A and B are shown apart, each in its own frame.
Chain A
Amino acid sequence: MKLTVKLAGVIGALAMATGLAAADDYPEKPISMIVTWNAGGSTDVLARLLAEPLSKELGVPIAVTNMPGGGGSLGTQAALDAPKDGYTILATTSGNHILTPLKNDVGYRYDDFEPIGQLVAASLILAVREDSPWQTLDDFIEAAKAEPGKYLFGAVPDVAPHLTMRALADAAGLDVVHLPQQGGAPGATALLAGDIDLLPANAATVASSLKGGKMRGLAVFSADRDPAFPDIPTAKEQGYEVYGSPFVGLAVAKGVPDDVLETLKAAFDAVANDPAFQERAVKTVSALTYLPADEFGKIWERDWKTYAPMLQK
């Protein structure tokens, strides 16, 4: 009995000691970085690329943990359920952070999290096959108006490319038919095979087809042209103010101590602005579009407001 009490006391003291130390000495043990998509996807590869220099910066190992499923909601929820000590960080994307909670009843919102920083904001490109008669956005819109319901576009349901295409169709008053796809690569295959007429897609998905001359870009849905594809005009230049740009960044659950959050932000800023890391990211996945925490938070708010009317029932 006595021994138990003593033991309990010792354990309690130890727990308090480590609890107190946590804020000062953060980080002192390995950090888990949750990826809400499967191993090998573009988010996963980016997270693994980031984990290596970030772990050097913080001085502790970072384990990338894949928790796929439920439109990214399983991993996002897990990041929220973990102890709020900064040892669980979330590689977050538009899909799991904005679109899934708007569309499905998953029990979390975008503002249950604190932003650490944005890594990537992908360009969305509207691509057609090389033998397509359309050279500009207007060519397509004219054709689609002439024959409502004739043309098919492919996209994963209710992700940024799909929603952006819907926004374009609404803005131009078009009736184009959505053929749901299972991913970016299957969509690109369907376009090359002629099963669909148009593909709104992340630049990375269609980059090699565009460069190899198998596809042509009609428009990019960003404020400015994509430096990797300077010949593709923006939708805005062609008279349609339609934007879409899915993000990847880091976040932690709200409630993490301020100094821990500052440590993470500082480490992330240092890595994201390191030319060696930027070069590696450009070669592997896509160009970085770094944003510091507060601006990344504004992106969340903007996207939440943009997509809420399209997704909430």
Chain B
Amino acid sequence: MDFLLQGLPEIASIQVFLMLSLGLVVGILIGSVPGLNVPLAVAIALPITFNVEPIAGLAMLVGIYKGGTYGGSLTAVLINVPGTPAAAATAIDGNELTRQGKAGKALKMSLYASVFAEFVSDIALIAFAVPMAGFALRIGPPESFSLGIFALTLVGVLSQGNMVKGLIAGAMGLFLATFGVDPLSGEFRLTFGSRQLAGGWSFIALVIGVFAIAEALGVMESRVTRTRSKAAPRLDDPDNCLTRDDWRRSLPVIGRSSLIGVFIGAIPGLGSAVSAYLNYGLSRSLSREPERFGKGAIEGVAAAEAGNNAVTSSTFVPLLTLGIPGDVITAIMLGAFIAHGLVPGPALFEQQGAFVAGFFLMILAASVLHLVIGRLGMYAFIQTTRVSNPVLFPAVLVLGVTGIFVSTSSYFDIYVMIGFGVLGYLMNRLGFPIAPLLIGFILSPLIEIGLRQAAIMGRGDMTILLTRPISALFLAFALLTVLVVGWREYAGRRKRTQIQDEEPLT
């Protein structure tokens, strides 16, 4: 506590709070627009931060990061188009709630789950940064592979009742991610001589395609029932408030997802999308009522949102303790630290204790402001439900196309997005779930790189996957998940055939 108090003078300025609030507002807006991504916003904001106090500059970047990670959930809930890849898991149950006229409920849960997870992450960073860094270093290639396999088995959980189609979608995701540059040899692979494909399929184009374009194509089919705006749901309407029952279902899920998310954030190279899906899948497989998921389960929103925001502070663990950035955003922030003469790493705590304490307090303040700004912003964002589809979706398409172009300046990626839109539309029509496709795509490099690196480390002896204890533990989890899912699937079939058997008798 004394340590933290010496940071008070660092952040006790109007400038810090203005920059923090500005960052949060910008972040939430950028995050909510499909295609505009948080790393780009942070990179653009970096030069601006040189003109203010170091802590105020970092406040703006942290604001953009936290706001952006949360902002993706707004459009995911409201129009089934996740603003960031990490919010794709939120869309599954969040948008279902919107369809049931309970948008306010989903929005509130996603904000409260996000902010709660942030606080857990803040406290973990402040209190346990050094031991967490030690843990993160133990996640080497064999562990990455095994964690990836464990996360992949959750595809099975998400596909229950629809196992074959879910597994096909998951395999498709795994395969699509292998295009482009071979991560271990640097050779081009599966590019068919196309220079454009040398970059692989763009993940943002994939996400916007299978959600925004596919959704727009689906909407085009439906008859236009209203072209005028209707009233948005009132946030204090009983259907849009969180009930005691909602909290009872969600609180344990938020707690678990926050803790798991914090650890994932501390491990370099995993990130918020992995955390969101892992926690969503895990919550579904551990739930006593897994059948609620996908049909508007409030705890599904809670799991995904707590999962993706829980990484936002713990991701500073490797940066502050080892001086090594764990992802693109902390890499940019490393630049911001160094620009102000602060070299992250073990020495920073000793030489600049007051500054580090100020940084920690600022991160806590960011979570408080996030709650306030997010709650106020809800009044504005829920208005999108008033806009009728013939107006809304063309606007979403324009934003999607612009967003993609801003990130990569590539027409090719726009065509890729449209292609994936058609794929997503067909998948929706034929009853293939979208989520496994994205999970496969996210996990593919983790699994491939982990396995091939582990093979080199073991000089071809793959028992390294079992002799390293954390790796063995993840593989055991994976096996357990397969058994549980297999049993549920088997039991579900038996139930269905029994019903069929009995029907002719009645």
| A interface residue numbers (CB < 8 A to B) | 34, 38-41, 44-45, 48-49, 52, 65-71, 73-74, 77-78, 103-104, 106-107, 149, 152, 156-158, 177-180, 182, 185-186, 188-190, 192-195, 207-209, 211-214, 280, 283-285
A45 touches B269 (CB 8 A): no
CB neighbours (8 Å) of A71 from chain B are 181, 186, 198
B47 touches A69 (CB 8 A): no
B183 at the interface (CB under 8 A from A): yes
B409 touches A283 (CB 8 A): no
CB neighbours (8 Å) of A280 from chain B are 50, 339
B46 touches A189 (CB 8 A): no
B341 at the interface (CB under 8 A from A): yes
CB neighbours (8 Å) of B340 from chain A are 283
Shortest Cβ distance from A34 into B: residue: B409
7 smallest beta-carbon distances between A and B, as pairs: A69-B199, A70-B198, A208-B323, A212-B345, A157-B186, A208-B345, A193-B137
CB neighbours (8 Å) of B325 from chain A are 185
A185-B136 Cα distance, complex, nearest whole Å: 14
Q: Which of B44, B331, B335, B456 contacts A179 (CB 8 A)?
A: B456
Known contacts A40-B328, A214-B346; A283 and B39 CB within 8 A of each other: no
Shortest Cβ distance from B318 into A: residue: A189
A74 touches B195 (CB 8 A): yes
How many contacting A-B pairs (Cβ < 8 A)? 157
Nearest-neighbour CB distance to chain A for B152, whole angstroms, equals 19
A179-B187 Cα distance, complex, nearest whole Å: 16
B40 at the interface (CB under 8 A from A): yes
Q: Which of B181, B324, B329 contacts A189 (CB 8 A)?
A: B324
B453 at the interface (CB under 8 A from A): yes
B227 at the interface (CB under 8 A from A): no
B186 touches A158 (CB 8 A): yes
A175-B268 Cα distance, complex, nearest whole Å: 30
Known contacts A104-B198, A185-B326, A283-B338; A67 and B409 CB within 8 A of each other: yes
CB neighbours (8 Å) of B196 from chain A are 74
A45 touches B43 (CB 8 A): yes
Shortest Cβ distance from B183 into A: residue: A182
A66-B40 Cα distance, complex, nearest whole Å: 9
What are 30 A-B contacts with C-beta separation under 8 Å? A39-B43, A39-B44, A44-B43, A45-B46, A48-B46, A49-B47, A67-B408, A67-B409, A67-B410, A68-B408, A71-B198, A74-B199, A78-B409, A104-B198, A179-B456, A182-B183, A185-B324, A185-B325, A189-B136, A189-B137, A189-B324, A192-B322, A208-B344, A212-B345, A212-B346, A212-B347, A214-B323, A214-B346, A280-B50, A283-B341
A192 touches B324 (CB 8 A): yes
- Hey, what's the 0/1 contact readout for B429-468 against A, CB within 8 Å counting as 1? 0000000000000000000010011001101000000000
Shortest Cβ distance from A49 into B: residue: B47
A66-B41 Cα distance, complex, nearest whole Å: 13
CB neighbours (8 Å) of B40 from chain A are 39, 66
